[in-house]
Amino acid sequence: MTMKIFRNVSRILVGLVFIFSGFVKGIDPLGWGYRLEDYFQAFGIPWAVPFALYLSIFSCTLEFIIGISLLFNLWIKGSAWALLGMMIFFTCLTFFDALYNLVPDCGCFGDAIKLTNIQTFLKNIVLMIFVIPLFAGRKKFKNWAPDWAQKMFLLIFAFFFMGLSIYCYRYLPIIDFMGWQVGNTVNVLATPLKFYVTYKNKVTGEEKEYLTPDYPWNDSVWMSQWVFKSQRAVNSAKGQALALRVEDEHGADVSASILDNPDLQFILVAYDLGKTDTAAFHRILPFYKNATREGYSFICLTSTLPGDIKKFRIDNGAGFNFYNADDVVLKTMIRSNPGLILIRNGIVLAKWPFRNFSSYERVMEKFRNP
């Protein structure tokens, strides 16, 4: 009886973890796809990069369906094999990741929960404690419906979730876990970082954390007894984004003039002009002309080289100013290439993917007045 209870607790616990993990990655398939691209590059198989998005949607759907199978006790005899195979693969992968730091952020819970590589590996080890008894006792779970009905139920869930994932890819994640989500503050100048330092006593091993510079750094006796151990940064703003550095064509930093703009600031993000949807640039031109006519700033951020930017502007009649920024930061700003972001006073007001650009009149009706 005790083993039966443990198997059922394991089934529910692992099911919930897999549902959560599959969901947070599945609603942001581009984000998980970027992680897979990093792994492909790290393992020396760049030829697989074009398949990253497809693999992202498939793997998230599989993970979610395994979770549904476990939680609702559906066809566990079959799903237990997929569960064990996935756990063995990712436990081995995260072991090498923890050992060699192949990819700094494995993204096992997407952008919803950030874990270090070591934490991810330990999480998988703990999960295996519950997965192994589940697999060993897979035939002992009593089915509440015929096999065909259970498989049909899971298939319906799979098609539904895959459709949701594709929708989030074509538009934007239905839940945004990234730093540039609507309502967040993104101008780092308005919300300075606080740095904390930890010192350890050489004799007792005691550790103390201080908000810098509020520690006795100028006390020579104290400094001889305590040794620096670590440092961490804390941002007081909710969901602070990755630091965005915006450079003009001469390499000058113009970030403050954009992020601290007290008026409406339109930012068109195209992390790679070579991969962007050029038709979207043509559709946004009337929006750009109306905005600049009324005195609002409208710019484009990209990681594309200046020479290629110049050619793109000529080929597509893009009259707005282009600035350079890091492609990793641009990808976290909006999951669309291009995508439009509206900020004011460093606060994100709205975001639109290129497939769903709003009209200028509708935007002004909502955001013209603070």
Task: Report DSSP letters for 14-75, one per residue.
Answer: HHHHHHHHHHHHHT-HHHHHHHHHHHHHHTT-GGGGGGHHHHHHHHHHHHHHHHHHHHTT-S
14/129 same-domain check: yes
| CATH (domain of 314) | 3.40.30.10
What's the N-to-C CA distance of the chain in angstroms? 63
9/107 same-domain check: yes
| 266, 320 contact by CB (below 8 A) | no
Q: Which of helix, strand or coil describes residue 265?
A: strand
Res 232: pLDDT? 57
Position with higher pLDDT, 49 vs 211: 49
Res 59: pLDDT? 97
Res 1: pLDDT? 54
165/26 same-domain check: yes
Within a domain: 296: yes
32/130 same-domain check: yes
Specify the number of domains making up the chain: 3
| 67, 8 contact by CB (below 8 A) | no
Res 143: pLDDT? 78
Q: How far is CA 91 from the centre of its chain?
A: 21
- Stated pTM of the model: 0.83
Instruction: Encode pLDDT of 90-138 as tens digits.
Output: 999 999 988 888 887 788 898 899 888 899 999 999 999 999 999 999 8
Task: Record the tokens describing residue 12, joined without a space.
Answer: 């529910």
219/280 same-domain check: no
Please list the helix, strand and coil fractions of the chain in percent, rounded to the nearest 5, in that order: 50, 15, 35
Average pLDDT, the chain: 89
Question: Minimum mean pLDDT among 158-167, 247-256, 284-293: which range?
Answer: 247-256
| 157, 65 contact by CB (below 8 A) | yes
Percent of the chain at pLDDT exceeding 90: 65
Within a domain: 180: no
d(CA 356, CA 363): 13
Instruction: Encode pLDDT of 258-282 as tens digits.
Output: 999 999 999 999 999 999 999 999 9
- What residues make up the domain containing 41? 2-170
Res 268: pLDDT? 98
Res 209: pLDDT? 82
271/198 same-domain check: no
Within a domain: 54: yes
11/91 same-domain check: yes
- Residue holding tokens 């703009």? 261
85/199 same-domain check: no
Cα torsion angle, 121, 124, 126, 132, sign? negative
155/204 same-domain check: no
Q: How confident is the model at residue 191 (pLDDT cuts 50, 70, 90)?
A: very low
Residue whose C-alpha is closest to residue 266's, from 297, 302, 303: 297
Q: How confident is the model at residue 358 (pLDDT cuts 50, 70, 90)?
A: very high
Residue 240 has pLDDT above 70, yes or no: no
18/106 same-domain check: yes
Position with higher pLDDT, 177 vs 102: 177
Res 145: pLDDT? 82
Q: Which of helix, strand or coil describes residue 295?
A: coil
212/266 same-domain check: no
Within a domain: 250: no
139/259 same-domain check: no
- Among 170, 203, 224, give the residue marking a domain's end: 170
